[in-house]
Structure 1
Amino acid sequence: MRYLDSRKKILVTGGAGFLGSHLIDRLIARGDEVVCADNLFTGTKRNIDHLHGHPRFEFIRHDVTFPLYIEVDQIYNLACPASPIHYQHDPVQTTKTSVHGAINMLGLAKRLKARIFQASTSEVYGDPVEHPQTESYRGNVNPIGPRSCYDEGKRCAETLFFDYHRQHRLDIRVARIFNTYGPRMHPNDGRVVSNFIVQALRGEDITLCGDGRQTRSFCYVDDLIEGFIRFMDMPSGANGEPGLPGPINLGSPCECTIRQLAEIVIELTGASAKIIFLPLPVDDPMQRKPDISLARKHLNDWQPSVCLEDGLRRTIEYFDQLLSHGK
């Protein structure tokens, strides 16, 4: 359901990335004008090449740690490396992207009186002792570990968003994203779905960290983007008050073990791969599953509709074409 009827000019930071490019496609398809801002650290122009020359699309190469002066109606702040390999490559810059990026985008939204969306993460829950995770759970996060640049950077960004909401009555939307997969994932991002698929398609053994009993809940990208848009398009409150700020969990409540995921990928690709077990990374969560009751209640009964096997088939097809072209 769309609540905002008029065409909007929308800024998407991190728009050349996996999630950002899918979001832009949806916004363009419904008639909006979109400005994509990305420094191309983990994003790639390949994800947005099909929009080159489109009259309602503009690309700006920009790092959100620096201010951006632009006129827009809404902002989706998705800029930040999201895979451990990428965000641990330059942890200081990762923290800057989350914190300085939030400050710059919130400052822009305040000046423009624009609604702003923050792509937060289930990593704010750390290695949870509550299962499944509700939005009221405050988390179990190591503030000084190798993953902290991302976990604590996103937690600080949430703090900034809610302080701007309280202090400046800014209309914010904060979504906590759980594991998402689909076409346009980076083939070398180190996340389990892309890792397993690429290894299987290349005829390599599947490398699995830990004993494989740790769990995740995987949401197909189209379902997640639908949640983004429903959340962002909710009307403001009475008398022009800001609407529901969140945080709201967005992800699949269907939990599976990492070993089960590896076995499904092997089956769907027809690979003859063996599973090789490697040490578990530091602070890697043992279980992750969202409680999506709030999303169902407030986002017109939103819930994922694409089952894991169907989503994996689509993702495998994408990576098969990508690898066959040597990209």
Structure 2
Amino acid sequence: MATGQVPFRRAVVTGGCGFVGSHLCDLLLDSGVEVVCVDNFLTGTADNVVHRRADDRFELLVHDVTTPIPVSGGVDLVLHLASPASPQDYLRLPIETLQAGAQGTFNALELARQKKARFVLASTSEVYGDPLQHPQRESYWGNVNPVGPRSVYDEAKRFAEAATTAYRTEHGVDTAIVRIFNTFGPRMRADDGRAVPTFVRQALAGEPLTVTGDGSQTRSLCYVDDTVRGILAVASGRHTGPVNLGNSAETTVLELAHLVGELCGSASPIEFVDRPVDDPGRRKPDITLAWDKFGWRPETEPRKGLSTTIDWFATQLHHTAAGER
């Protein structure tokens, strides 16, 4: 989608100071859309949007979405991303994760209903659990453990999808659902527990790269610029979804560790550690629907995206080290 060709004047982005949310705020602003960024800094940081604070089309609302969202004036798009999203976060914040998926989603939907705005829920590939179907199509119902350690995130998003569907059928809210797969890029936290930032941090520090299990489990890496472009494409259309957004190229975790080590110029050894409970064995989206309906597919080759991400992390570590001296 070309910059400036979106049919919105003013958007609300919940979780807008998070990793994906902040990039989405950038894309909206660059497309000429006014943005109200809503965040309570539970896992996001104002540092991710500091470069936008001088823009008079950008407003930062420090607010917890589990209470009604006080946005005045016209709004024609609500994008709901507020939720802990990394294993490190949702295992540390299980109740808050469930609250964001439940009450937070209701409040975001209610805002969209009151404003007569388009509503897009940022769901996740985790709704498929440890999938028995490969690749995963939107019609697949998933294989989720409702009482396992990951269930607080899996089920929060599954509930959020149900709530979004209910608001569409009961109140006529114009809704859509996107399911995001393995997004990576600048502004991820080095300590968030996901594979890419963990491997990058370890490689840059000369530490062993900790691969869970035997590393044969697969992921499908999608660079964040492609992900937010997909979200905005779905928002600008009329399709209700769910729509998978991810990369159909599949890589093993062990291959990813070796690639990150190579791109970092690191001699760090691989160290195998226990695999987390309910860790998905294979993860690969079928993105036929996204291509057919919106002409969307990833454009950034994972190797290039990883190089950009590594450069960003290296700069952050350099600034941190300089500040400590």
Gapped runs of 5+ residues in structure 1? 235-242
Q: Secondary structure at the match of 1:282?
A: coil
Alignment root-mean-square deviation, CA: 1.2
Q: Secondary structure at the match of 1:119?
A: strand
Deviation at 1:7, TM superposition (A): 5.2
Alignment counterpart, residue 305 of structure 1, candidates 291, 296, 299: 299
Do structure 1's residue 183 and structure 2's residue 186 form an aligned pair? yes
Matched-pair contact (CA < 8 Å) for 1:4–1:233: no
Matched-pair contact (CA < 8 Å) for 2:209–2:270: yes
Amino acid at match of 2:200: I
Q: Secondary structure at the match of 1:326?
A: helix
Cα distance in 2 for residues equivalent to 1:45 and 1:147 = 27
Cα distance in 2 for residues equivalent to 1:316 and 1:110 = 41
Matched-pair contact (CA < 8 Å) for 1:161–1:172: yes
Cα-to-partner distance string for 1:269-296 (whole Å, 9 max, x where unaligned): 0101000000000110000000000000
The equivalent of 1:35 in structure 2 is: 36
Cα distance in 1 for residues equivalent to 2:297 and 2:7 = 26
Do structure 1's residue 153 and structure 2's residue 147 form an aligned pair? no
Deviation at 1:4, TM superposition (A): 6.1
Do structure 1's residue 291 and structure 2's residue 292 form an aligned pair? no
Gapped runs of 5+ residues in structure 2? none
Q: Secondary structure at the match of 1:167?
A: helix
The equivalent of 2:109 in structure 1 is: 106
Query: How many residues are aligned here?
Result: 318
TM value normalised by structure 1: 0.95
Moved >2 Å (runs of 4+): 1-7
Matched-pair contact (CA < 8 Å) for 2:222–2:246: yes
Do structure 1's residue 326 and structure 2's residue 320 form an aligned pair? yes
Cα distance in 2 for residues equivalent to 1:185 and 1:23 = 14
Amino acid at match of 2:45: T
The equivalent of 2:221 in structure 1 is: 218
Matched-pair contact (CA < 8 Å) for 2:200–2:313: yes
The equivalent of 1:46 in structure 2 is: 47
Q: Secondary structure at the match of 2:167?
A: helix
Cα distance in 2 for residues equivalent to 1:153 and 1:147 = 10
Cα distance in 1 for residues equivalent to 2:251 and 2:120 = 29
Greater mean alpha carbon deviation, residues 36-45 or residues 67-76: 67-76
Cα distance in 2 for residues equivalent to 1:315 and 1:6 = 31
Alignment counterpart, residue 131 of structure 1, candidates 130, 134, 144: 134
Cα distance in 2 for residues equivalent to 1:43 and 1:107 = 23
Q: State, as a whole percentage, how many aligned pairs show the same letter.
A: 49
Q: Secondary structure at the match of 2:320?
A: coil
Q: Secondary structure at the match of 1:170?
A: coil
Cα distance in 2 for residues equivalent to 1:146 and 1:6 = 40
Cα distance in 2 for residues equivalent to 1:7 and 1:191 = 33
Cα distance in 2 for residues equivalent to 1:54 and 1:149 = 36
Cα distance in 1 for residues equivalent to 2:28 and 2:243 = 21
Matched-pair contact (CA < 8 Å) for 2:243–2:290: yes
Cα-to-partner distance string for 1:13-56 (whole Å, 9 max, x where unaligned): 00001101111111111111101000111111111010112110
Matched-pair contact (CA < 8 Å) for 2:131–2:280: yes
Deviation at 1:5, TM superposition (A): 5.6
Distance 1:34 1:95, change over 3 A: same
TM value normalised by structure 2: 0.96
Q: Secondary structure at the match of 2:102?
A: helix
The equivalent of 2:262 in structure 1 is: 267
The equivalent of 1:9 in structure 2 is: 10
Deviation at 1:69, TM superposition (A): 2.2
Cα distance in 2 for residues equivalent to 1:303 and 1:5 = 18
Cα distance in 2 for residues equivalent to 1:258 and 1:5 = 36
The equivalent of 2:248 in structure 1 is: 253
Distance 1:29 1:6, change over 3 A: same
The equivalent of 1:73 in structure 2 is: 76
The equivalent of 1:279 in structure 2 is: 274
Q: Secondary structure at the match of 1:325?
A: helix
Cα distance in 2 for residues equivalent to 1:48 and 1:324 = 20
Cα distance in 2 for residues equivalent to 1:5 and 1:39 = 27
Distance 1:4 1:272, change over 3 A: closer
Do structure 1's residue 314 and structure 2's residue 315 form an aligned pair? no
Deviation at 1:111, TM superposition (A): 1.2
Amino acid at match of 2:135: P
